[in-house]
Structure 1
């Protein structure tokens, strides 16, 4: 049933001021306790969602590159024993580009990890300092080189639309990143998330976020540069050479089943939504008492599943085939979308609707959230 597995490692050396992910700083981490808990949580998921070999595993966080390679190896060995691996399985691990973590890259390769996602975030030292990162630009470049020597595939993350950022600055930085030769890049606009230090800084007037219009111009510039470089967007913030797309993330966006283990991890399996306890200590306690870390699980209605599939799928450049959704969830396409709004936004050039397939145009992508709220049928979630 589930063909993808997400493993969340919740610990970081430092909490970044823009981050609202489930990450925690702890002076001491009991690796043996975490090994036992994650293995137990994994066994629980395999009992409910086994049957097909895994085609993707993703270690996210937090900072998974802080995990001892022996722990990564133990988790991968158990996953293979429980599910089996597809011959071309993609095993991704998120990593910070520090020299300490890069020193583990060779050992991580031996565990079976074949793809790494490097949180570079910027190639400018002053920007890295502003973003609260622990590495410098040269350290990031060195880590990238080490990663390329060890892993089959290397992706890098960058953050743009930063306060005061100019088009020529972003063009130069993005061109430097492209010159490294990676086949996949995740390019995220800086957003001020609630309950982060940046949200407090903005409220106190420490800095002013970039306005929407210049941020939109930088988004358009990004698409132009990446298209010219042969790494078009296959999802609103993710760019890849053809064939180098993240298979794991495509699992989410194509609304396929996946199991999620570890603190705060979400999953979708057999029409059931799962959520793990977020706080590491609560997660460990739950596993010790129940054999799994689940905080909440509930069956989703067909309408809720169809709505989620639409909301996820329209992030992709390939869009959504309504006839396939209709067949999958048993809901007529006329009940999936607001036809009047679809026609309106198609006329405006924000959407394309051809032979039953809806795609968001490059002009529509910066307005994606608003478009989704307009065209997904209001009554769908109650179906």
Structure 2
């Protein structure tokens, strides 16, 4: 399937039980019960607004992200999926993913999600160390996480085991032990993210005050190399900088993003990219959940930003996304968008340094190049 054939739906559920100190996503804690079905109705209404603008498309993937989508009641998930099925043609093999936190209460909903149409779950284990889970603000124990993952693996055809590494105080020895334990449990896909400290998070504030010691760049590089070593041995190579999969188990929805495909995003703070002639429309929804819901009720959508992305900017976005994945980018597609070819001397220089490689008209970053990905992208785009 080409990027032009794929069309995805992203559904944002913004609510969490607690705000994790490293999280900079659009997530909100409510101390009173959330009227989940009213938000599901608003999601359905916003989906209808997007359907009017994407007629003739076939939905190939759906992704429930957050926030914590596993706080959604299964009937709310079902309502959203039923709406998608009524508004668009849906591919027979559509991939429908839901991000889940591995607490016992949410795990009990797994069978309800499966009955609603979810066929892939991404389980946010994050760590298998009790103290580190507490430091990360997680509300589950390692044992609860593994029990939830094992249940998910029984209920859903496809599951992802998700972890964060390069955590404060983490050493290669402790990560080797922890990742080995996780690799013994995984079922074909792992998302393994290096902890990044983002502005506006509690961790950022602690770091600014000198109260959070994260691994040095050299130590983080050691942990990255160890991650590649162990996943390769387990036949789970990196198909993207932070994602590893057995052949055929890659996340099709996330590949849609990295291949610079089209998608409609609904819910508070959701982003969309829709084709419009040679341009693309970049849409962003209101972030505050209740304000978003009020906008949808008033006008059918919660969009607060809608700008055209001209081809040259699309070229930069394609480069930024496409070089994250092992398959790289189509040079012809990039050059058609950019209106120019790559600088041959720059390409030759980076190839001689072992940072990039080519396969026909595809350009890829090497394993060494991935460690300097931002610099490689900046050089190619200049």
TM-score category of the 2 structures, normalised to the smaller one: over 0.9
Work out whether 1:302 is the aligned partner of 2:307. no
What does residue 156 of structure 1 align with? 161
Aligned to 2:26: 22
Structure 2 residue 379 is matched with structure 1 residue 374: yes
Alpha-carbon displacement from aligned partner over 1:161-196 (angstroms, at most 9, x marks no partner) = 112211111111111001013210000111111010
Instruction: Give the CA deviation at 1:357.
Output: 1.9
Q: Matches of 1:340 and 1:276 in 2, distance apart?
A: 42
- Name the counterpart of 2:290: 281
Change (3 A) 1:85 1:354: closer
The answer (yes or no) to whether the contact 2:262–2:274 under 8 Å persists in 1 is yes
The equivalent residue for 1:268 is 273
Equivalent-residue separation in structure 1 for 2:367 and 2:249 (angstroms): 21
Q: Given the alignment of the two structures, is residue 291 of structure 1 paired with residue 313 of structure 2, yes or no?
A: no
Task: Summarize the alignment of residues 45-56 of structure 1 with structure 2, pairs less than 5 Å apart.
Answer: 45-56=50-61
Deviation per CA, 1:210-268, whole angstroms, max 9, x where unpaired?
10011011111111111110000000000000100000000000001010000111010
Aligned to 1:381: none
TM (normalized to structure 1)?
0.95
TM-superposed CA distance for 1:332, in Å, is 4.3
Aligned 8 A contact 2:68 2:99 in 1: yes
**CA 338–195 in structure 1, closer or farther in 2 if over 3 Å, else same:** farther
* Aligned residues between the structures: 373
CA distance in 2, matches of 1:35, 1:186: 28
- The DSSP-based 3-state class of the residue aligned with 2:372 is helix
19, 29, 37: which is aligned to 1:32? 37
Q: Distance in 1 between matches of 2:166 and 2:332?
A: 37
Contact kept, 8 Å, 2:47 with 2:84, in 1: the verdict is yes
Aligned to 2:16: 12
Structure 2 residue aligned with 1:181: 186
Matches within 5 A, 1:322-333: 322-327=331-336, 329=337, 331-333=338-340
1:316 to 316, 325, 329: 325
Summarize deviations over 1:10-29 as a string: whole Å, max 9, x none. 00000000000000001231
Give deviations 1:135-171, integer Å, cap 9, x for gaps. Answer: 0000001101110110000101111111221111111
Structure 1 Cα separation of the partners of residues 75 and 359 of structure 2? 50
The CA deviation at 1:30 is 1.7
* Residue aligning to 1:209: 214
Query: Shift of residue 205 of structure 1?
Result: 2.1
Q: TM-score, normalised by structure 2?
A: 0.95
Does the Cα contact within 8 Å between 1:2 and 1:259 map onto a contact in 2? no
Partner SS for 1:185: strand
Native 8 Å contact 2:6 2:256 kept in 1: no
Task: Give yes or no for the alignment of 1:232 onto 2:237.
Answer: yes
Q: What is the root-mean-square deviation in Å for CA atoms of aligned residues? A: 1.3
5+ residue gaps, structure 1, are 379-383
Distance of 2:178 and 2:114 partners within structure 1:
29
The structural deviation recorded for 1:2 is: 6.7
Mapped contact 1:58–1:93 kept (Cα < 8 A):
yes
The range that moved more, 46-55 or 229-238, is 46-55
Q: Is the 8 A contact 1:338 1:374 kept in 2?
A: no
- Counterpart position of 2:367: 362
**How far 1:53 sits from its partner (Å)?**
2.0
Alignment of 1:105-254 (within 5 A): 105-254=110-259
